[in-house]
Structure 1
Amino acid sequence: MKSLRAQLAADPTIGAGNVLGTVIAHGADLQGPGLTFDTAVDHFPAEHPLTLGELDERVQARTAWLREHGIGRRDVVAIWATEAADIVLSFLALTRVGAIPALMNGKMAPAIAEEYIRRLRVTGVLADAEHREKLSEAPILAEPKDVGTGDPAEAPEHYRHHQDDPVVITHTSGTTGVPKAVLHTHTTLYAALKHLLTMPQAQGTDRILNALPIPHTATILMVNQVLGNRAEMLLLSSQDAPNVLRQIERWKPRGVYGFAVTWAGLAREDLSRHDLASVRMWFNTGDCAHEPHIRKLVAVGSRETVTRQGRTTVPGSHFIDGLGSSEMGHNGFHVTHTIDSQHYGRCIGKPYQFAEATVLDSRGEELPAGKPGLLGFRSPSVSPGYWNDSVNTYRFRLNGWFLTGDLVYRDETGHFFHLDRVPDAVAGFEGPQLYTSMSEERILAALPEVLDCTVIIVQEDGRFLTDVLLELSQDADPAADRSEPVRRAVGEEVAATIRRIAVIGEDDVPVTVTGKVRKVALRQERLDGVAAGAGVGR
Structure 2
Amino acid sequence: MRPHDMGVLFDECAERGIRTIVHLDRPFDLAPGTSHDLPALAGLVRTAAGWLAAAGLRRGERVAILKDNHWDYDLLACAAIRLGAVPALLSGQLPPETVEVLLKRLDPALLVSNGRHLAVGDLPALARRTLTLDHGPKGVLTLDDVRGHSAPGPQRRSADAPLVINHTSGTTGLPKLVTHSTRTIIGRLARFEAIRWPVIGTRRTDTVASASSFAHGRTFCWTASVLCLAPEKILILSGEHDRELLEQHPPSLLEALPSWYVRHQHLTAEPANPFRRVRLFVSTYDAMHPPTVRAYLHASRRNRPLWMQGWGQTETGPLTFRFLTRKALAHSHDPEPTTRNLGHPLPGRTRLRVVDPSTFAPLPPGHTGLVLARTKARCLDYVGEPDRFAAKDTAGWWNTGDLGRQTRSGAILFLDREVDRTPELSCVRTEDLLEERLPEVLEAVVLGVLGQPPIPVLVTADGTLDAFAWKRALRDLPPLADPVALTWAQVPRTGTGKVRRQELLDRLVGRAARHGSGRWT
Which whole-Å CA distance do the structure 2 matches of 1:401 and 1:18 have between them? 34
* Alpha-carbon spacing, 1:425–1:470, altered in 2? closer, same or farther (3 Å): same
Q: Which residue of 1 aligns with 2:225?
A: 225
Tell me if structure 2 keeps the 8 A contact 1:34–1:54.
no
Q: Would you say 1:334 and 2:321 are equivalent positions?
A: yes
* Alpha-carbon spacing, 1:341–1:391, altered in 2? closer, same or farther (3 Å): same
Tell me if structure 1 keeps the 8 A contact 2:81–2:163.
yes
Unaligned stretches of 5+ in structure 2? Answer: 135-141, 330-336, 513-521
1:508 offset after TM fit, Å?
2.9
Tell me if structure 1 keeps the 8 A contact 2:285–2:496.
no
Q: Would you say 1:285 and 2:284 are equivalent positions?
A: yes
Match of 2:459 among 463, 471, 481: 471
* Alpha-carbon spacing, 1:435–1:57, altered in 2? closer, same or farther (3 Å): same
Q: Would you say 1:248 and 2:246 are equivalent positions?
A: yes
Q: Which residue of 2 aligns with 1:391?
A: 387
Spell out, residue by residue over 1:465-484, the C-alpha distance to the aligned partner (whole angstroms, 9 max, x if none): 21112234779962326235
Q: Which residue of 2 aligns with 1:320?
A: 308
* Alpha-carbon spacing, 1:398–1:57, altered in 2? closer, same or farther (3 Å): same
Spell out, residue by residue over 1:354-395, the C-alpha distance to the aligned partner (whole angstroms, 9 max, x if none): 222221222333221111111112222221221121021112
1:102 offset after TM fit, Å?
0.9
Which whole-Å CA distance do the structure 1 matches of 2:30 and 2:320 have between them? 41
1:267 offset after TM fit, Å?
2.5
Q: Which residue of 2 aligns with 1:355?
A: 350
| CA RMSD between the two structures | 2.7
Q: Which residue of 2 aligns with 1:307?
A: none
Comparing 184-193 and 466-475, the one that deviates more: 466-475
1:22 offset after TM fit, Å?
4.6
1:95 offset after TM fit, Å?
0.7
Tell me if structure 2 keeps the 8 A contact 1:457–1:467.
yes
Q: Would you say 1:519 and 2:501 are equivalent positions?
A: yes
Q: TM-score, normalised by structure 1?
A: 0.83
* 3-state SS, counterpart of residue 65 of structure 1: helix
Q: Which amino acid aligns with 2:9?
A: V
Tell me if structure 2 keeps the 8 A contact 1:17–1:96.
yes
* Alpha-carbon spacing, 1:522–1:44, altered in 2? closer, same or farther (3 Å): closer
Comparing 121-130 and 352-361, the one that deviates more: 352-361
* Alpha-carbon spacing, 1:147–1:93, altered in 2? closer, same or farther (3 Å): farther
Q: Which amino acid aligns with 1:340?
A: K
* Alpha-carbon spacing, 1:156–1:472, altered in 2? closer, same or farther (3 Å): closer
1:135 offset after TM fit, Å?
4.0
* Alpha-carbon spacing, 1:467–1:317, altered in 2? closer, same or farther (3 Å): same
Q: Which amino acid aligns with 1:482?
A: W
1:176 offset after TM fit, Å?
3.0
* 3-state SS, counterpart of residue 312 of structure 2: coil
Which whole-Å CA distance do the structure 2 matches of 1:280 and 1:523 have between them? 39
Q: Which residue of 1 aligns with 2:447?
A: 456
* Alpha-carbon spacing, 1:83–1:529, altered in 2? closer, same or farther (3 Å): closer
Match of 2:154 among 133, 152, 158: 158
Which whole-Å CA distance do the structure 2 matches of 1:184 and 1:475 have between them? 41
Within-5 A mapping of 1:486-497: 486-488=474-476, 490=477, 495-496=478-479
Q: Which residue of 2 aligns with 1:138?
A: 126
Which whole-Å CA distance do the structure 2 matches of 1:179 and 1:477 have between them? 33
Spell out, residue by residue over 1:402-426, the C-alpha distance to the aligned partner (whole angstroms, 9 max, x if none): 1122111121122211111111103
Within-5 A mapping of 1:170-209: 170-190=166-186, 191-200=188-197, 202=200, 206-209=206-209
Q: Which amino acid aligns with 2:47?
A: A
1:398 offset after TM fit, Å?
1.9
* Alpha-carbon spacing, 1:204–1:56, altered in 2? closer, same or farther (3 Å): closer
Which whole-Å CA distance do the structure 1 matches of 2:101 and 2:439 have between them? 43
1:15 offset after TM fit, Å?
4.7
Which whole-Å CA distance do the structure 1 matches of 2:108 and 2:315 have between them? 21
1:526 offset after TM fit, Å?
4.1
Within-5 A mapping of 1:261-280: 261-269=259-267, 271-276=269-274, 277-280=276-279
Q: Which amino acid aligns with 1:289?
A: M
Tell me if structure 1 keeps the 8 A contact 2:132–2:143.
yes
Match of 1:444 among 411, 435, 444: 435
Q: Which residue of 2 aligns with 1:308?
A: none
Tell me if structure 2 keeps the 8 A contact 1:78–1:122.
yes
Q: Which amino acid aligns with 2:183?
A: T
Aligned-pair identity in percent equals 24
Tell me if structure 1 keeps the 8 A contact 2:84–2:157.
yes
Count of residue pairs brought into register by the alignment: 486
Q: Would you say 1:417 and 2:394 are equivalent positions?
A: no
Q: Which residue of 2 aligns with 1:309?
A: none
Which structure ranks higher in relative contact order (CA pairs < 8 Å, sequence separation ≥ 6)? 2
Q: Would you say 1:369 and 2:365 are equivalent positions?
A: yes
Which whole-Å CA distance do the structure 1 matches of 2:419 and 2:7 have between them? 34
Tell me if structure 2 keeps the 8 A contact 1:374–1:405.
yes
Q: Which residue of 2 aligns with 1:11?
A: none
1:514 offset after TM fit, Å?
2.0
Tell me if structure 2 keeps the 8 A contact 1:456–1:467.
yes
* Alpha-carbon spacing, 1:451–1:67, altered in 2? closer, same or farther (3 Å): closer
Comparing 518-527 and 14-23, the one that deviates more: 14-23
Match of 1:99 among 61, 76, 85: 85
Which whole-Å CA distance do the structure 2 matches of 1:476 and 1:80 have between them? 36
Spell out, residue by residue over 1:438-478, the C-alpha distance to the aligned partner (whole angstroms, 9 max, x if none): 2111222233343321111111xxx3421112234779962
Which whole-Å CA distance do the structure 2 matches of 1:529 and 1:64 have between them? 48
Which whole-Å CA distance do the structure 1 matches of 2:31 and 2:508 have between them? 51
Q: Which residue of 1 aligns with 2:491?
A: 509
Spell out, residue by residue over 1:65-98, the C-alpha distance to the aligned partner (whole angstroms, 9 max, x if none): 2223321212111111115254222111001111
1:528 offset after TM fit, Å?
2.9
Tell me if structure 2 keeps the 8 A contact 1:182–1:385.
yes
Q: Which residue of 2 aligns with 1:216?
A: 216
Q: TM-score, normalised by structure 2?
A: 0.86
* Alpha-carbon spacing, 1:144–1:383, altered in 2? closer, same or farther (3 Å): farther
Tell me if structure 2 keeps the 8 A contact 1:79–1:87.
yes
Tell me if structure 1 keeps the 8 A contact 2:30–2:72.
no
Spell out, residue by residue over 1:499-529, the C-alpha distance to the aligned partner (whole angstroms, 9 max, x if none): 3223333333222232111211233334439
Which whole-Å CA distance do the structure 1 matches of 2:326 and 2:172 have between them? 37
Tell me if structure 2 keeps the 8 A contact 1:34–1:53.
no
* 3-state SS, counterpart of residue 213 of structure 1: coil
1:35 offset after TM fit, Å?
4.1
Q: Which residue of 2 aligns with 1:296?
A: 295
Which whole-Å CA distance do the structure 2 matches of 1:42 and 1:390 have between them? 34
Tell me if structure 1 keeps the 8 A contact 2:288–2:339.
no
Q: Which amino acid aligns with 2:326?
A: I
Q: Which residue of 1 aligns with 2:139?
A: none
1:162 offset after TM fit, Å?
0.8
1:294 offset after TM fit, Å?
0.2
1:272 offset after TM fit, Å?
3.3
* Alpha-carbon spacing, 1:70–1:472, altered in 2? closer, same or farther (3 Å): closer
Q: Which residue of 1 aligns with 2:237?
A: 236
* Alpha-carbon spacing, 1:473–1:340, altered in 2? closer, same or farther (3 Å): farther
Q: Would you say 1:59 and 2:45 are equivalent positions?
A: yes
* Alpha-carbon spacing, 1:166–1:212, altered in 2? closer, same or farther (3 Å): same
Spell out, residue by residue over 1:29-73, the C-alpha distance to the aligned partner (whole angstroms, 9 max, x if none): 1x622644333358964321x222221111111212222332121
Tell me if structure 1 keeps the 8 A contact 2:235–2:245.
no
Tell me if structure 1 keeps the 8 A contact 2:455–2:483.
yes
* 3-state SS, counterpart of residue 51 of structure 2: helix
